[in-house]
Amino acid sequence: MAGAASGRAGGYLVIDVWSDVMCPWCYMGTTLLAQALERFPHAQQTQIRHHSYQLMPDLAPGTAVGLTEYLVRQRGFQRQQIEAMNAQIAARGAAIGLEYHSERAIAANTRAAHQLIHFAAKAARQHEMVQRLFRAYFTEGLNVGDHTVLAGLAAETGLDPAAATQALATGVFDDDVQADIRRAQQLGISGVPFFIFGDKYALSGGQPVEAFLQALNTAWDEAPGTP
């Protein structure tokens, strides 16, 4: 995994996370990682860095259609299959304290949302922004491709909505989004969530808390400079 990120940055154990706002398992995965960090004795010496990944990059900007309808009409899924999958996701999410209403989800191009996440990183609010976007998409049924919606979410996360609107309008962070996607390709990442601990150990999918805790402990023990 060499080159994904420095294993220790400024004395911190780095955890690199690739995810997409539209990915239900990513919402669970980042939550389970947070729960593992609550049990990790060196949690205050860790740094989570979120990276962009798009599950549906082919969606045209401006698209805003119910996710269920999109999957039925454009991807050929059976409605009953989607409903069963949504019920399973909701049950698994509820078990770890998350509220899913996937039937409300609006399929949209998430490129702008990823730009907003990079914008938030400049103010050290990246993780909060990611979690707020997940809740907006899966719980509230908001259009995370809409710049006005995104600016409002930025304000709720303690960021300047006018600056967020300007960043989205100019696309100033789009190169950062593309760099994340390109790096994922170089690393062979073909699905999300994907986690790299200390530039060395990788986990994918919604792993149990114990798996995250083991990865944290192993990466910490083997990271250069660990006492």
Spell out a b/e string for 29-42, using b for 16 or more CB atoms within 10 Å of the CB, else e: bbbbbbbbbeebee
Which residues lie closer than 8 Å to 163 by C-beta, 6 or more apart?
A: 119
Residue with tokens 């998350």: 98
Q: Which tokens is 152 given?
A: 């409002």
Averages of pLDDT over runs of 10 residues in the chain (227 residues) are 46 94 98 97 96 96 93 94 96 98 96 98 97 98 98 98 98 98 97 96 94 96 69
* pTM for the model: 0.92
β-strand pairing of 194-197 with 201-204: antiparallel
